[in-house]
């Protein structure tokens, strides 16, 4: 079984925030792959399905970002999911808008949701960093992260989320470079 985690903050007030791009990715995956309806479990919302024969559980922690690890830790422990089968989608300030990087392990880069996951399940899981761009001034970071995506940003956001869903079989198969290449080409209009 694979556990896909979308990070974000619960509630309508946060739903279009850049910090919630992980929730948006989870929602798109569940919708496009015809997974089950969302259910409340593990201090979060879960949906499940199969992709190319692989069982997949999608989780959106409802604990707020800084405590995401509690929810993920409960799901990992209950289902006995190895951390190398955990894939986390989240916002990354230090990547240009629409850019994506996938890697296993590493530091938190100051991301409180990742710090919480590291504390609860260790750092040996896959990270799908979704670029939202840095505002250029540290004093503007909170407003950037907790601000809503603009209409202009939809031109790359919607194709990125759809592309993530479309390339999910490659991601689950461990073909991370293929995912990044396909998404880069898609967002350049070549995919």
CB 71 within 8 A of CB 77: no
DSSP state of 48: E
Please confirm, yes or no, whether 19 is among the known catalytic residues: yes
User: What is d(CA 54, CA 146) in angstroms, rounded to the nearest whole number?
Assistant: 34
Q: Residue 187: its pLDDT value, please?
A: 83
In this structure, the number of other CB atoms found within 10 A of the CB of residue 49 comes to 15
Q: Residue 168: its pLDDT value, please?
A: 96
Task: Write down the catalytic residue from 19, 111, 134, 176.
Answer: 19
Burial of 107 (0-12, 13-18, 19+ CB in 10 A): exposed
Q: Residue 188: its pLDDT value, please?
A: 82
User: What is d(CA 179, CA 29) in angstroms, rounded to the nearest whole number?
Assistant: 15
The sheet that has 39-41: what strands, in order across it? 39-41, 44-51, 54-61, 2-6, 86-92, 126-131, 100-104
Q: Residue 189: its pLDDT value, please?
A: 72
User: What is d(CA 26, CA 2) in angstroms, rounded to the nearest whole number?
Assistant: 13
Per-residue confidence of the chain (191 residues) as pLDDT tens digits?
999 999 999 999 999 999 999 999 999 999 999 999 999 999 999 999 999 999 999 999 999 999 999 999 999 999 999 999 999 999 999 999 999 999 999 988 889 999 999 999 999 999 999 999 999 999 999 999 999 999 999 999 999 999 999 999 999 999 999 999 999 998 887 55
Q: Residue 186: its pLDDT value, please?
A: 86
Which tokens sit at 25? Answer: 């990715």
Domains, the chain, ordered by start: 2-187 (3.40.50.1470)
Q: Which alpha helices (DSSP H) does the chain contain, by range?
A: 21-32, 68-79, 112-121, 141-145, 154-166, 168-172, 176-187
């Amino acid at each position: 079984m694979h556990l896909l985690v979308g990070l974000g903050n619960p509630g309508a007030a946060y739903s279009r925030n850049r910090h919630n791009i992980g929730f948006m990715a989870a929602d798109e995956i569940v919708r496009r792959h015809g997974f089950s309806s969302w259910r409340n479990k593990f201090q979060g919302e879960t949906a499940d399905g199969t992709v190319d024969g692989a069982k997949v559980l999608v989780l959106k922690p409802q604990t707020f970002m800084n405590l995401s690890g509690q929810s993920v830790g409960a799901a990992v422990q209950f289902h006995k999911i190895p951390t190398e089968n955990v894939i986390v989608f989240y916002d990354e300030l230090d990547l240009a808008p629409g850019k994506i990087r996938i890697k296993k392990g590493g530091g938190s880069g100051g991301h409180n949701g990742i710090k919480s996951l590291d504390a609860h399940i260790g750092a040996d899981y896959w990270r799908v960093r979704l670029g939202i761009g840095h505002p250029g001034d540290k004093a503007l970071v909170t407003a950037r992260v907790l601000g809503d995506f603009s209409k202009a940003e939809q031109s790359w956001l919607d194709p990125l989320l759809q592309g993530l869903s479309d390339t999910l079989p490659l991601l689950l198969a461990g073909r991370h470079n293929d995912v990044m290449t396909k998404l880069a080409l898609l967002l350049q209009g070549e995919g």
